[in-house]
Structures are given as structure tokens and as C-alpha cells.
Structure 1
Amino acid sequence: MKKILLSSFCLSLILTAGIYGNGQNEGMLDIGLAMPETHVERWQNDGASLVEEATAKGYKAEVAFGDADQSKQNQQIQDFITKGAKLLVIGSVNEGVGSVVSDAAREGIEVIAYDRLIVNSADYDYYITFDNFKVGQFQGKGIVEGLKLDSATQTKYITLFAGSPTDNNANFFFDGAMSVLKPYIESGVLKVVGPAPMSSMDKSNFTKIATENWRADVAKARMENLLNNDAKDVVLDAVLAPNDTLARAIIEACMTDAKYDSTEKLPVVTGQDGEVASVKYIRDGKQYMTVFKDTRQLAKAAILLADAIIKDQTPNIPGARMDTTSYNTGKKVVKSFLLEPIMVTKDNYKKVFIDSGYYSADELQ
């Protein structure tokens, strides 16, 4: 089974130094890989996958994790520049990364924005991610299917959560979901409990449902507050949760409330990332769905793109769609390569995760 797993040694390095690579802590560096943090499982796997893919192509690569601290990440990127990196792959913490992206540009170092658009910058040309609007559409579709909204005869109640306000992807996820859910809300078959932005452009309300730094404790506390206040006198049928980490925190909060004290009573809860704990929740009926973004493929695609850029070749990324119009940093439109996500429910989780070798059957015990 080909699957990237962090060794205890690598994990120790992440927790202590926030950095690991293929042994080149001194001397020249080809590719610097800056990931935002480690408390969301997928970023650990992304970092390991990127190092593996870069090393397999003969590059000296090093990854650093920013611990959701942009100042720390900026220093890590400066270290990459000092080590002579030819190219940087950056999954940014927030737009404060722009200053070191400018530094890289002045040094003639190419930058690929990885899974998070670096906004308010004109100093890079490439962005690689999944189709994040479609991720949100899948989450909306999960709620429609889970609640059988097309045949519903009674009003269903939903509450809305969004990702970090500093992560541009949170806007795409939410807007994709609302493109599916808005008609049901407008018809009255779906009623929003709590703040009810219809798009991420409604900043005053979107801020109220956003979750700082994608933190599970923030989402859990907000859900507990909702259950004790806005949702006190209703039974929630669904929760739009933007990723698996937050989904599980929301479900944990629900399970402390007598109205949702069994699996059968839990609301339909969405997710994203295919984290092993959430796949188990889906199998057990606690979480309705997730959206799987195979970060092994994203890492492979990112290094293929990096390789083409370093060699001054035209990028050819199998399985990715190039978009030259949609992703505007606020300063320029960047060339974007979009991979396809997969919607996962109890019906297909074995095929998506076990049959593909992403998880072993033992990991899902």
C-alpha cells in the first residue's frame, strides 16, 4: 500500500522544530515547502508527500510548518531564501505572507501558492489546488440528499459554519455550498438557525460563522452556545461544517445535548479532507459525508508544476484543469491548476479510501 505516513521521528521534528526534510539543513536548497500548521491532519500528510515527491525527482527539499503563526512562517520562508531555494511552495497562514513572497520575487525565486490563494500579491504566477467551489457544492449536495429536501414536506433546520476568515478557500467552500442550499432556504423548506449569510460577501454575518484558524475548540464552543441559545427550542436537522476537524467538534458538542444523544438523533453534518477519524464517524453514522481531496495527488501535481517551472518548460499536469480567469489575488489573475474532489458517504467510503490504498482496513477499525 502506497500511503504517506509520518514517522514518529518526523512528527517529533514537527512538534519541536516545525521542520523536516531529506537531510539538507545546511547548504543549498532546491525547493522550500511552507505549510501553515499541523493541527489539521491533512497538512502533516501534505508536507510528507511533497518532500517525497520532490526527493523522488532528485531535488533537495525541506518542509516547515508555521503553527498557524504568519510571523513564524515568514521566518521559515526567509530561511529557505537564505539557503538558496530555487522555488517555494507555500500553503500560507494568511495574507501576511505577501512580504516574503515579494522578497522571493526580488531574488528571482518562483512561488507556487499551494491550496490557499495568496491574496493582495502580484509577486507570483501559479496556484495549485482542488476545485474548492465544487467542494462546497458537494457539501450542499450532501445536505440536500441527507435531508431528502427535494421531497420534504416539513421545514428542516440548519445552522452554518465556515472556515478561517484568513483562508480565502473558506469563501469558495461556503459559496459553493450556498449555491446549492440557497434555493431551498428561499423556498422555506430549509430554515437557517443563527447567523444566515447567503454568501461570503456578506462580511458582517460571514464573520459570525467563520472559525478562527480552523480551530476545533472554537467551533465546539460556538456550537455549544448555539445549542443553548438560538437552537434551544428547535431540533437541528443539519449543520454545514466546512471540514472534518470542525465537523467532529460540532458533533461532540451535539452529543452532550439530550436532543442529540444518540447517533440516530444527530443532525446531518458535512465535512472535508477524509480524515481517518471522520471516515470512522461516517461509517458509524455520526457524520454524514466528507469531501476527499487526495493530497497525494495534489503534492504530486505541485512538484510536477515545480519541476516544469524550474526547467522553464510548459506545465502539463495530468488530472488538473488549468484556469486562467477565476483566481484573482486582488492584484492580478494567477494561472491556477485545479484537481477534482470526491464526495464520500457511507455508501462509497470503502471504495474511495480502502480500495484506493489511502487507508488500510486496519486503520479504520
Structure 2
Amino acid sequence: MRIGILLPESKTTRYEAFDRPLLQSELQKLLPGVQIDYYNAGQNATTQQTQVDTALTKGDKVLVLDAVDSKSIQNSVQKAHDAGVKVVAYDRLAQGPVDAYVSFDNVKVGQLQGTALLAALGSDAASKQIVMINGSPTDPNAAQFKQGAHSVLNGKVKIGKEYDTPEWDPNTANQEMAGAITALGAPNINGVYSANDGMAAGIATALSAAGMHVPLTGQDAQLDALQRIQAGTQTMTIYKPYQPEAAAAAAVAAQFAQGKTPGSDLLPDSVTSGSGNKVPAKLITPIVVDKNNMCQTVVKDGLYTAAQIGITC
């Protein structure tokens, strides 16, 4: 029995450090003797399409797919479907006839980020101005984070500049932030919405270069982000526990691999993809992490030790 795991990139530390080993160990636990074929697309949509072709040629019966580009992967998903291969969309909802989707409530992520930013801005947020630096336009999750953030921020604070950042690139985010500072003036920027921690790193560098200290959001609970939160140069991050996400995806994939249809116990939710396909899903609730709850969240779950972050629990 063969299962393919196709992850999108390695710039974001989570994929190689957490998702890959967790998915592999969960699948091996559920399906002793399973052959796992692993692919990382390096943020290249064309590469990922080729990798799907390779997985199908090798005889993989289930694909756990985290799409680089949810739209361009649609033909590959259709190929898999036509070959009788089940596709579990992981973390990002690919277009086409995917069989299941396991991720987090991404609109909720944006809402939590926006709420935290407003709280950090204080009771006079309406008189203040922020910059929004969103994720990649090819990532459907980015659109949902953005939607959730806007649902909270619109009308509550002025949005002076807003960017959609190709490939979630930290260097591009750094340039966007520097451009916003030039355009608006450092004294006129009171906070920054960053959709993830990788970009927040680039943004924090631009803020520091301009001598600015303002609230800054993030997501993914990367180690460097937790260290920035402790240092006061980032306000919060979103912790999405990778273990339950990987375990849920592996459980669904294992059912498909055995010729079974996962029930509502594994897939209690439902979503509609960008191609209009209705997909049974499991959406996990994300967690806000700030200076006050690291010990109770990321340290308690074993994501990092207190020493790695530089705190005492």
C-alpha cells in the first residue's frame, strides 16, 4: 500500500519540522508497512503538478496534498480522481474533486489576529492607522485570513496601505513595509497586520530600521516569532497545533487506503472549494499565543521548550 504526501514549500519551518514527520508517523501507526512517498514542491506549482504525476505513476492510492496553488493544481486533482486515487486536501483547500479536507478554521484565524491587533491599539483604535500585509494570492487560506481580519478591522481602524504578498515571501514583506513607511510616514503608522510569522520577521526588520515600535501580528507559532513576542517586537501569533491536524488527515487517508469512506466522526464539517466542489471536512480551532500563555500552549504541547524560547515556566 502506497500513500503520497505532497507539501508545498520549506521556507515556512512547519512543513519539514512538524507536518512531514507527524504525517509519516501517524500513517505508519495506522497502516503498518505502508509505503510513503514524500514530495516537497519548493513553492513551485509546476513542480507540484509533476510530483502528482510521479505519485500516480508509482501507484499511490491516496494523496495527502497541501497545494502550492489551489487553482493550478485542479487538473492534477482531476487526474487522480479519474485514476481512482483519493485526494485529502491538507491545510489548504485545492480545487477540483478532492475527497476530504483537513485544516483549521481560517476565517477564525484572521478574526483572532484582527481582534488582537485592535486590543493592542487600545480604546482609541478608530483614530489610528495600520498597514495590512496579507499572504500569497495563490493560497486560498490567505484569502480566508484576509476575510476574517477585515471582518474585525473594517470600520474600527484606518487601513493606510494593504498588500498581497506573493509566495508569503519575508523579503517581499520587508520591502512592502519599507514602502508603506515611506508613503505614510513612520509617525502615522500605529500597527501592522501580518498574516504569518515568516512575513512578520521581514516586517519587524523594516520597523526596527525605521526606529518604530508598534503592534505586529503573526501566525504559525514559529520559534523566532515567539522570541520576538518575548522581546516585544511582535504582539501575538496564531498556534495551530500540527499534531491534531496531521492525526486527523492521517486517519482520513488511512480509511481511504483501506477502501472505506470516512464518517462524520472524522469529517464533521463541510466546505465549498473555489471550483464549487462541496467537500467533507474537519476544521480545527486555532489558538492565540502571546506573552502570557506560552507555557500553557506551545511549551505544554512540546512544540518548543521554555529554554528554546528564552522563558521560564
Instruction: Answer yes or no: same fold by TM over 0.5.
Output: yes
Name the CA distance, whole Å, in 1 between partners of 2:292 and 2:267. 28
Alignment match of 2:24 (pick from 38, 51, 74)? 51
**What do the CA deviations read for 1:305-361 (whole angstroms, capped 9, x no partner)?**
11122234453587x77222x423323211121011101111111211112222112
Name the CA distance, whole Å, in 2 between partners of 1:317 and 1:65. 30
Alignment match of 1:271 (pick from 212, 218, 229)? 218
Name the CA distance, whole Å, in 2 between partners of 1:348 and 1:154. 28
Cα–Cα, structure 1 residues 267 and 317, in superposed 2: closer, same or farther, change >3 Å?
A: farther
Alignment match of 1:341 (pick from 286, 302, 307)? 286
Name the CA distance, whole Å, in 1 between partners of 2:61 and 2:51. 15
Name the CA distance, whole Å, in 1 between partners of 2:173 and 2:57. 38
Where 2:93 maps in the other structure, the secondary structure is: coil
Alignment match of 1:90 (pick from 61, 65, 69)? 65
- Supply the AA of the counterpart residue of 1:38: S
TM-score normalized with structure 2 length: 0.93
Alignment match of 1:359 (pick from 278, 300, 304)? 304
What are the within-5 Å matches in structure 2 for residues 113-128 of structure 1? 113-119=89-95, 121=96, 123-128=97-102
Q: Give the structure with the larger strand fraction.
A: 2
**What do the CA deviations read for 1:187-234 (whole angstroms, capped 9, x no partner)?**
xxx222124xxxxxxxxxxxxx100011111111111111112x2263
What are the within-5 Å matches in structure 2 for residues 58-207 of structure 1? 58=32, 59-94=34-69, 95-119=71-95, 121=96, 123-148=97-122, 151-152=123-124, 155-184=127-156, 190-195=157-162
Name the CA distance, whole Å, in 2 between partners of 1:332 and 1:301. 21
Structure 1 residues without counterparts, runs of 5 or longer: 1-28, 185-189, 196-208, 261-265
How far 1:61 sits from its partner (Å)?
1.2
Name the CA distance, whole Å, in 2 between partners of 1:98 and 1:337. 21
- Supply the AA of the counterpart residue of 1:305: V
Alignment match of 1:323 (pick from 259, 269, 280)? 269
How far 1:135 sits from its partner (Å)?
0.4
Where 1:297 maps in the other structure, the secondary structure is: helix
- Supply the AA of the counterpart residue of 2:293: N
Name the CA distance, whole Å, in 2 between partners of 1:241 and 1:130. 18
Structure 2 residues without counterparts, runs of 5 or longer: none
Counterpart of 1:309?
256
Name the CA distance, whole Å, in 2 between partners of 1:183 and 1:232. 22
Name the CA distance, whole Å, in 1 between partners of 2:13 and 2:114. 23
Task: Report if the CA contact (8 A) 1:163-1:213 is conserved.
Answer: yes
How far 1:364 sits from its partner (Å)?
1.5
Name the CA distance, whole Å, in 1 between partners of 2:253 and 2:66. 14
RMSD over aligned Cα atoms? 1.7
How far 1:183 sits from its partner (Å)?
3.4
Q: How many pairs align?
A: 306
Name the CA distance, whole Å, in 2 between partners of 1:227 and 1:329. 34
Counterpart of 1:221?
175
TM-score normalized with structure 1 length: 0.80
**What do the CA deviations read for 1:121-149 (whole angstroms, capped 9, x no partner)?**
2x22211110001100100111121112x
What are the within-5 Å matches in structure 2 for residues 222-237 of structure 1? 222-229=176-183, 231-232=184-185, 234-237=187-190
Name the CA distance, whole Å, in 2 between partners of 1:154 and 1:183. 8
Cα–Cα, structure 1 residues 309 and 237, in superposed 2: closer, same or farther, change >3 Å?
A: same
Where 2:268 maps in the other structure, the secondary structure is: strand
Counterpart of 1:255?
208
Name the CA distance, whole Å, in 1 between partners of 2:300 and 2:86. 37
Cα–Cα, structure 1 residues 87 and 328, in superposed 2: closer, same or farther, change >3 Å?
A: same
- Supply the AA of the counterpart residue of 1:217: N
Task: Report if the CA contact (8 A) 1:54-1:60 is conserved.
Answer: no
Name the CA distance, whole Å, in 1 between partners of 2:146 and 2:140. 10
Task: Report if the CA contact (8 A) 1:86-1:110 is conserved.
Answer: yes
Task: Report if the CA contact (8 A) 2:118-2:125 is conserved.
Answer: no
- Supply the AA of the counterpart residue of 2:78: S
- Supply the AA of the counterpart residue of 2:158: K
Task: Report if the CA contact (8 A) 1:46-1:299 is conserved.
Answer: yes
